[in-house]
Amino acid sequence: MEIIVLLKQVPATESLIRIDDDGASIKTDDIKWVVNPYDEFAVEEALRIKEAHGGSVTIVSVGPEKASEAIRTALAMGADKGVLITDPGVSDFDSLIVSRILAGALKEIPFDLIIAGHRSVDKDNSQVGPATAELLNIPHISMVIKQDITDSKIRCHKTVEGGTVVLEMSLPALITTQRGLNEPRYASLPGIMKAKKKPIDVKTIMDSGFDGDPIGESMVKTIVMKPPRERKDGIMIKGDSNLAKAAELVRILHEEAKVL
């Protein structure tokens, strides 16, 4: 079973996010970078499938050179090799361009199954997985919480409003992960030392077989980024008795918040 994991490096959720002077990107100085959490589920699931069925796990990422750190983390978890397609302008690529680059690169790598996070926690578009499957002309199932492979079919569970649905498709195929699929393992210290010797193939966009103009052909552009509105402080309602406080609360809800 040859398994590909599509992986993205994203800012850690606890990082301090500040908008850059252009108003449409973030300052990257103090940011801690991590593997996109949904992609961690993907790596874990790929490793479990490999452990059950044999084969190998290849990590593929489109990102800045720094993204090799995220690939290295996946290698330390147990993946076998990595491919990084890198370009300095990558943060301006739209999801379709990233998918086209990935699909182009994946034509060169044999695979039975591709696993991707269903979304990246930075741009939150939920597009790259499905779009890549479309471009490769293979079936896909999104937001999987359980899977089972027998012969050349994969059966997947996904949650829908009010219940679970079970779907099946033939391999080769692509699935995207949802929280609940698994509990990702740690990159262990011995794993980190082993990862040191595992190969990461770093390519430019051109080398990867993409011959377009990735920024020029990106159809979706970021216009402006705004930080979330700062939450106002709560107010403590004062009063001599509970009754008085309740009355004051009703007054505020009615007169100031105008919800009653």
User: Regarding beta strands 140-150 and 153-160, do their DSSP bridges make them parallel or antiparallel, or are they unpaired?
Assistant: antiparallel
Q: In the range 21-40, which residues lie near other proteins by CB under 8 A?
A: 30
CA 166 – CA 164 distance, rounded (Å): 7
| 224 near other proteins, judged by CB under 8 A | no
Residues facing residue 9 across a β-bridge = 35
Does position 51 bind other proteins by CB under 8 A?
A: no
17 binds other proteins (CB under 8 A): no
Does 232 sit near other proteins (CB under 8 A)?
A: no
**CB closer to other proteins out of 166 and 193:** 193
Shortest distance, position 32 Cβ to other proteins, whole Å: 9
Least CB distance to other proteins at residue 208 (A): 24
- Does 188 contact other proteins by CB under 8 A? yes
- Least Å distance between CB 140 and other proteins? 30
- Which of 150, 161, 162, 189 touches other proteins (CB under 8 A)? 189
Distance CA 178, CA 220 (A): 25
Crossing angle of the two packed helices 95-106 and 128-136, in degrees rounded to 10:
40
> Which residues, listed in sequence order, are joined to residue 144 by a DSSP beta bridge?
158, 177
Q: Is 220 in the site for other proteins (CB under 8 A)?
A: no
Rounded-to-integer distance, Cα 134 and Cα 140, Å? 8
With binding defined as CB under 8 A, does residue 231 bind other proteins? no
Q: Is 85 in the site for other proteins (CB under 8 A)?
A: no
Regarding 198 and contact with other proteins (CB under 8 A), the answer is no
Of 70-78, 141-149, 216-224, 243-251, the segment contacting other proteins by CB under 8 A is 70-78
Q: Does 236 bind other proteins (CB under 8 A)?
A: no
Closer of 25 and 188 to other proteins (Cβ):
188
Stretch that binds other proteins, among 65-73, 92-100, 157-165, 174-182 (CB under 8 A): 65-73
> Minimal distance in Å, beta carbon 19 to other proteins?
14
69 binds other proteins (CB under 8 A): yes
Number of CB atoms found within 10 A of residue 250's CB: 11
Subset of 99-158 contacting other proteins (CB under 8 A): none
Residue 58 as a binder of other proteins (CB under 8 A): the answer is: no
Binding site for other proteins (CB under 8 A): 16, 30, 69, 72-73, 76, 186-193, 195-196
